[in-house]
A = this chain, B = another copy of it.
């Protein structure tokens, strides 16, 4: 899309990919495994991460004057979600998507 710089366009895509990984795995893998995967703190983190990624993509699509602040917050949530998923194991897809999104958001926030 010509309306956005390559950096912002890539960050929007990274947010969508992370939302897909976090919401998709929370509602399939995590619910089906149960145990630690539906522990409130972990499950909420997955849903938080999907939600802030959706919002961050939306703010960039708005060409919002607040997109840097939202990107910074998204980078924090994604980094913590990546750590939590790495700790649990079996969620490499989520870890990778969260780390990529945190990095893209950190760049877009500059």
Contact = CB atoms under 8 A, between A and B. Distances in A.
Contacts of A57: 20
B23 A61 contact: yes
Size category, A interface = 35 or more
Contact of A66 (B24, B61, B65, B76): B76
B21 A45 contact: no
Interface string A1-31: 1011000000010001001110111011101
B40 A63 contact: yes
Most B C-beta atoms less than 10 A away, residue of A1, A4, A70, A93: A1
Given A44-B31, A52-B55, A62 B93 contact: no
